[in-house]
Amino acid sequence: MKIRTLLAAAASSVALSTGAWAQTEIQWWHAFTGRLGELLAEQIETFNASQSDYVVIGNHKGNYSETLNAGIAAFRAGEQPHILMVFEVGTATMMAAEGAIKPVYEVMAEGGAPFDPDGYLGPVKGYYTTTDGEMLSLPYNSSTPVLWVNRDAFTEAGLDPDMDLSTWQQVGEALDALKDAGNPCPLTTAWQSWIHLENFSTWHNQPFATLENGYAGLGTELTFNGPAQVQHIAQMGEWAKEGKFIYNGRRNESGANFRAGECALFTESSAGYAGIKAEADFDFEIRPLPYWDGVDGAPQNTIIGGSSLWVLAGHEPEEYEGVAEFLSFLSTSDIQAKWHQDTGYLPITLAAAEQTRAEGFYEANPGTDIAIQQMTGAEPTSNSRGLRLGSFDQIRGIIDEELEAVWAGDKDAQAALDNAVQRGNQLLRRFEQANQ
């Protein structure tokens, strides 16, 4: 009896697996957990249910750095997935790995899936496109930094919550008033390098690095120790000393403090929306990232953070057809509009932005379109298209360290940024050498 059951089970599992064998498997390694992970899984399920030729299998491989490492290690072992999620700072690493990737425009052309590069949001696409206009990876989740305002904290401090906060000068006045009124945390930030140096530079049309921020070649050198950046960091250091800017960590540690209502102002990704909306029991508002009045060219445009999907080399043609199908599915307006509205990430296509507007989402949730306006407000210049720097994850670590020295009062802004530039350039030279 028992043996017979076992045999039956074995037979049926063989039948099942041969049944599934007819479908081509597409492996997708990603870095999402929690709510984002659920939404991602939902996209996969929708795709798998929508057709019967391919099965996409999602695999969580840790945080962004860990996912990239897992992909690299798998490639070395010849067991790479078809699609790998890579955060924006890993872009230069992936671009330089010519034999390891299969550019998205090529996958799309061969797969014959509908693909219109012009339909994607310029500033989002620009980060992942060659100077010849060829899209190398498909933008997945993209956000840009904005200013989050706790309106209740402003009212408590006797400030008008509708006051203009477009410039850092105006923010400075608000910080003085907040501090005087006894607010324990007038301003805090997440992702200091991304917001206060990288986006600061593009927003003020200042070069972050030579050779068009690295777009034009591997010989790029960092230049973020210019007068505008130094002045901003020096001012932030001043505010830190006076207790007006509170630093809690390199990532988004400060999010907890803002959501708890402790902090009045918070510079953070537009993708903080889901969390803040869910937790904040105070009146909050999204404002554009402030700029310094008087800096020539400001405000220009901000740039994205987030990740894109890279297709890895070394798979069968029919599998790439499935990949093309899936990527084109991800770009459809319905999927993108839902993603945009659920998460606060930018839609990657113009059509999805239009659809969201038509559905009345922006009217019901004021401020959620600020991120798009900020990125599309001005035609990007060679200073503001994006950043393409090797070893960038580590360069960010160096910038974090030097900025911490400024917040702690150990170094002045000029010395810290000079040092960060010099240390970062060393890494860029090694990256150049490794990829010659």
Beta pairing partners, 30? 60
User: What are the residues whose beta carbons fall under 8 Å from the beta carbon of 119, sequence distance 6 or more?
Assistant: 331, 349, 350, 351
By beta-carbon proximity to another protein, the closer residue of 258 and 284 is 258
From the CB of 430, what's the least distance to another protein, in Å? 6
Q: How far is the CB of 55 from another protein (least distance, A)?
A: 27
User: How many other CB atoms are there within 10 angstroms of residue 315's CB atom?
Assistant: 18
Pick 246 or 372: Cβ nearer another protein = 246
The nearer residue to another protein, 89 or 195, going by C-beta atoms, is 89
Nearer to another protein among residue 110 and residue 393 (C-beta): 393
User: To the nearest whole angstrom, how small is the minimum distance from the Cβ of residue 100 to another protein?
Assistant: 4
- Closest separation between CB of residue 404 and another protein, Å? 4
* Residue 76 or 277 with smaller CB distance to another protein: 76
How far apart are CB 271 and another protein at their closest, in Å?
22
CB closer to another protein out of 61 and 338: 61
- Cα gap 351→346, rounded to integer Å: 12
Residue where the block lists tokens 């798009």 = 372
Of 170 and 394, nearer to another protein (C-beta) is: 394
Closest C-alpha to 325, from 84, 125, 126, 83:
83
Q: Which residues pair with 311 in a beta bridge?
A: 83
**For residue 139, how far is the Cα from the chain centroid?**
10
Count of other CB atoms within 10 angstroms of residue 191:
21
CA atoms within 13 A on the CB side of 432: 13
- What residue type is assigned to position 373 of the chain? Q
Q: At closest approach, how far in Å is the CB of 423 from another protein?
A: 7
Are 134 and 105 in contact by the 8 Å Cβ rule? The answer is yes
What is the C-alpha R_g of the chain?
A: 23
Give the DSSP letter of residue 114.
-
Report in angstroms how near the CB of residue 114 gets to another protein at its nearest.
Answer: 31
Interface residues toward another protein, by CB under 8 A: 65, 69, 72, 75-76, 93, 96-100, 247-250, 253, 256-257, 262, 391, 393-394, 397, 400-402, 404-405, 407-408, 410, 423, 426-427, 430-431, 433-436
What does residue 138 show for φ and ψ, rounded to 5 degrees?
-95, 120
CB neighbour burial string for 214-251, b if at least 16 within 10 angstroms, e if fewer: bbeebebebbbbeebbbbbbbbbbebbeeebbbbbbbe
Smallest distance, another protein to C-beta of residue 185, A: 9
3-class SS letters over 400-433: HHHHHHHHCCCCCHHHHHHHHHHHHHHHHHHHHH
Give min distance, CB of 76 to another protein, in A: 5
Closest CA to 264 of 92, 405, 417, 148: 148
Give the helix/strand (H/E) hosting 29.
strand 24-30
| Residue 212 or 402 with smaller CB distance to another protein | 402
Sequence-ordered list of residues with C-beta below 8 angstroms from that of 388, at least 6 positions apart, any chain: 91, 92, 95, 213, 214, 215, 220
Q: In terms of CB distance, is 84 or 370 closer to another protein? A: 84
Q: What are the structure tokens assigned to 66, written together?
A: 């860990």
Closest contact distance (angstroms) between CB of 69 and another protein is 5
Nearer CB in complex with another protein: 107/406: 406
